[in-house]
Amino acid sequence: MEIAAIVAAVLMGVVAVFQLALALGAPAGFAAWGGWHEGVLPTRLRVASGVVGLIVYPALMVYVLATAGVIDATWVPVRGRLGMWILTVIFTVGGFANLASRSRRERWWAVAAFGIAVCTAIIAISL
């Protein structure tokens, strides 16, 4: 269970770094947000990438690591099996959304999404 949590956190960290790069103006819009923007993302999507990279993924990383007992974060609310199953569903849906993207390069993010989904399912089963 601990290994699954660490793998999930690493994969989320990779996605977070990519989102932060997009927020800072990396010309990789072709690989995110549906692949509709070849270069630098428009401002609204750069802001969204910043929020995802700075807040959402780090929070999910802490949640997963705390739920699996890798870190001691008793302040994290509602840790447990249901939360892991919810994340499993969210990342599975996200993986299929990546696969459905018009951008070939964005489809590669499905690997990370499905990897995270498998890890959160392993944690859920192990609780």
Prediction pTM value: 0.91
pLDDT value at residue 95: 97
How far, CA to CA in Å, does 120 sit from each of 17, 29, 38, 65, 100?
20, 28, 32, 10, 22
Q: Which residues of the chain have pLDDT under 50?
A: none
Q: Report the distance separating Cα 60 and Cα 80, nearest Å.
A: 13
- Residues of the chain with pLDDT > 70, as a percent, come to 100
pLDDT value at residue 62: 95
pLDDT value at residue 75: 82
pLDDT value at residue 9: 98
> How many Å separate Cα 62 from the centre of its chain?
12
